[in-house]
Amino acid sequence: MTGTPETEAEILGAIGFLNEVMARYPQAISFAPGAPLLDGITRERVIAAVDEVAGHSGAPGWNALFQYGPSQGIVNADLARALSAAGACTVGATDITITVGAQEGFILVLRALELHRRGTLGIVAPAFAGIRGAATFMGAQTVDVLEGPEGVTAADLEAACGRADALGEPLRALYVAPDFANPSGTVIPRQARLELLHAARGRQVLLIEDTTYGFTDPDVPPSLKALDEHGVVIQVGTFSKVCFPGARVGYVVADQPWNGSTLATWLATLKNTTTVNTPALSQAMVAGLVLSDPAALAERQRMLRNSYRDKRNLLLTALDDEFPDASELGLSWNRPTGGFFVVMQTRRDLDHAALQHCAACHRVLWTPMRDFYAGRAGDTMLRLSCSHVPNDQIREGVRRLGAFLRETSQDAAAQ
Ligand SMILES: Cc1ncc(COP(=O)(O)O)c(C=O)c1O
């Protein structure tokens, strides 16, 4: 539902709060951010990457990269080729709009669908705070669609349609992250993907597919977009995790027909009023690093995948070792095989105040799961991200977390 002023401020401030809290406790070991590894990203490599893009024959050169550029983007053809080579989906350059991160993609898609005027947006719950933020920012009516152990199903979509109808505005789109969702780590199985597509088509609901963590496992099922034969899926992707988030390059694949062209071209028109164009320099960095050579992208994904797998395994082993008494403490956690995140169920109320107390007294940070739900379903859960913690600090971070979670409420009050 569209939030009250307080909840709106909470939703819109969630990501900012987490960034600030990290800066305020620099000594803390941080399992909070989904910040990626930057291995192989250096000043020299980035300059060489841009040189490669600007310098090849027929290229416009560095000067053009310093200028304004086309709203739809300048690396669309390279990206279309890369998506097709990776089996992600087969689309053309005009079916893609390059955005300032996936985050701008969400805003543009919600605006294009006019969700601020009519209809309801379903959001898988729990979900990445950015989509909830985008919906709040746009004034869209939303319903949470609680996922099961294998993500959202066709039955969940049907139920959400019923709830949206009861609110008087039919479900028009559903946000879903089928590959190692942030934060839950769920993967939607192939058959369930096909059923979801079928149900969405039948109900005339568009699926907004977020592919951010798909690269962390080569064996995930084909993307919803790859399986989509009827224009049901709008795919939103990002280079924040496979390249670097400072580039702020993401994209939307939207090949649906739209007023004689594609939805992607309408998104580009809307983009004139948000960020005008994604900086050409940023697009060139990403293109030079991973897009112009499909082998380079595959190699970088493989290297990152292995590093994240090692980190996840270190984290899971440290949790097993730290909490042999997990069930007595009321603790449990999932064991995802991809992505960045592990979710822990506890007995404590875990809000921003608890996080600050934990940072100040135990020097370890995590993310309260309540930030990923519209309601209070996540109040006693926390998310641990393994992506940003050096391997040799993971065990110590978990030891500190143990001290926090073993604290009695009296201890906490006395600190
Ligand atoms: C699931 C998911 N989607 C999208 C994003 C945002 O990506 P971007 O940096 O491209 O805006 C994130 C960032 O952490 C994410 O976890």
Q: What confidence tens digit (pLDDT) does each residue in 244-286 have?
A: 999 999 999 999 999 999 999 999 999 999 999 999 999 999 9
- Mean pLDDT over residues 77-88, rounded? 88
Q: How would residue 328 be classed by pLDDT, with cut points 50, 70 and 90?
A: very high
pLDDT digits (tens, 9 = 90+) for 15-74: 777 778 888 999 999 999 899 999 999 999 999 999 999 987 677 799 999 999 999 999
Q: Is the pLDDT of residue 2 over 50?
A: no
Best probe residue, ligand 1, of 104, 124, 132, 182 (max atoms within 8 Å of C-beta):
182
Give the burial string for 168-180 (b: 16+ CB within 10 Å, else e): ebebbbbbbbbbb
Closest ligand 1 atom to the C-alpha of 99?
10
**212 Cα: distance to centroid of ligand 1 (angstroms):** 6
- Mean pLDDT over residues 64-89, rounded? 91
Q: 57 and 164 share a domain?
A: yes
Q: Is the pLDDT of residue 377 over 90?
A: no
**In contact, 101 and 245? CB cutoff 8 Å:** yes
Measured by CA distance, the residue closest to atom 13 of ligand 1 is 34
Peptide bond into 126 cis (omega under 30): yes
| pTM (2 d.p.) | 0.94
Q: 191 and 254 share a domain?
A: yes
Question: Which phi and psi angles does 142 have, rounded to 5°?
Answer: -130, 155
Percent of the chain with pLDDT over 70: 96
How much is the mean pLDDT over the chain?
A: 93
Q: 214 and 324 share a domain?
A: no
Residue 414 lies in a domain: no
- Mean pLDDT over residues 106-130, rounded? 97
- Mean pLDDT over residues 197-225, rounded? 96
Q: 91 and 113 share a domain?
A: yes
Query: What's the confidence (pLDDT) of residue 224?
Result: 97
Side-chain half-sphere exposure of 177, counting CA atoms within 13 A: 28
Residue 413 lies in a domain: no
Q: How would residue 411 be classed by pLDDT, with cut points 50, 70 and 90?
A: low
**250 Cα: distance to centroid of ligand 1 (angstroms):** 9
Best probe residue, ligand 1, of 100, 103, 242 (max atoms within 8 Å of C-beta):
103
How many CB atoms sit inside 10 A of residue 281's CB?
Answer: 18
- Mean pLDDT over residues 188-215, rounded? 98
Q: 190 and 330 share a domain?
A: no
Of the three residues 249, 268, 297, the one that is the final residue of a domain is 297
Percent of the chain with pLDDT over 90: 84
Q: How would residue 415 be classed by pLDDT, with cut points 50, 70 and 90?
A: low
How far is Cα 44 from Cα 17, in angstroms, rounded to an integer? Answer: 33
Bigger pLDDT: 216 vs 12: 216
Closest ligand 1 atom to the C-alpha of 250?
10
Closest ligand 1 atom to the C-alpha of 104?
11
Residues listed for the chain: 415
Q: Give the CATH number for residue 67.
A: 3.40.640.10
How far is Cα 4 from Cα 251, in angstroms, rounded to an integer? Answer: 31
Closest CA to 124 of 224, 243, 267: 224
Q: Domain total for the chain?
A: 2
**327 Cα: distance to centroid of ligand 1 (angstroms):** 33
Query: What's the confidence (pLDDT) of residue 21?
Result: 81
Q: Is the pLDDT of residue 5 over 60?
A: no
Residues touching ligand 1 (Cβ under 6 Å) are 34, 101-103, 128, 130, 177, 182, 210, 212, 238, 240, 245, 250
Q: How would residue 10 be classed by pLDDT, with cut points 50, 70 and 90?
A: confident
Query: What's the confidence (pLDDT) of residue 3?
Result: 41
- Mean pLDDT over residues 226-243, rounded? 97
Q: Is the pLDDT of residue 1 over 70?
A: no
* Pairing mode, strands 206-210 and 233-238: parallel
How far is Cα 269 from Cα 13, in angstroms, rounded to an integer? Answer: 28
Q: 73 and 26 share a domain?
A: no
Query: Which residues form the domain of 332?
Result: 5-30+305-408
Of the three residues 297, 324, 354, the one that is the final residue of a domain is 297
How far is Cα 72 from Cα 51, in angstroms, rounded to an integer? Answer: 22
Q: What is the CA radius of gyration of the chain?
A: 21
Q: 126 and 273 share a domain?
A: yes
Handedness of CA 398, 400, 402, 405 (dihedral sign): negative
**105 Cα: distance to centroid of ligand 1 (angstroms):** 10
Judged by average pLDDT, the poorest of 86-90, 205-209, 404-408 is: 86-90
Q: Is the pLDDT of residue 293 over 90?
A: no
Q: 320 and 259 share a domain?
A: no
**403 Cα: distance to centroid of ligand 1 (angstroms):** 31
Q: How would residue 409 be classed by pLDDT, with cut points 50, 70 and 90?
A: low
- Mean pLDDT over residues 353-371, rounded? 94
Q: 194 and 245 share a domain?
A: yes
Residue 123 lies in a domain: yes
Q: Is the pLDDT of residue 313 over 80?
A: yes
Q: How would residue 303 be classed by pLDDT, with cut points 50, 70 and 90?
A: very high
Q: 95 and 187 share a domain?
A: yes
Q: 361 and 217 share a domain?
A: no
Q: 112 and 216 share a domain?
A: yes
How far is Cα 53 from Cα 49, in angstroms, rounded to an integer? Answer: 7
Q: Give the CATH number for residue 15.
A: 3.90.1150.10
Of the three residues 247, 274, 297, the one that is the final residue of a domain is 297
Q: Is the pLDDT of residue 91 over 60?
A: yes
Measured by CA distance, the residue closest to atom 5 of ligand 1 is 102
Best probe residue, ligand 1, of 238, 248, 385 (max atoms within 8 Å of C-beta):
238
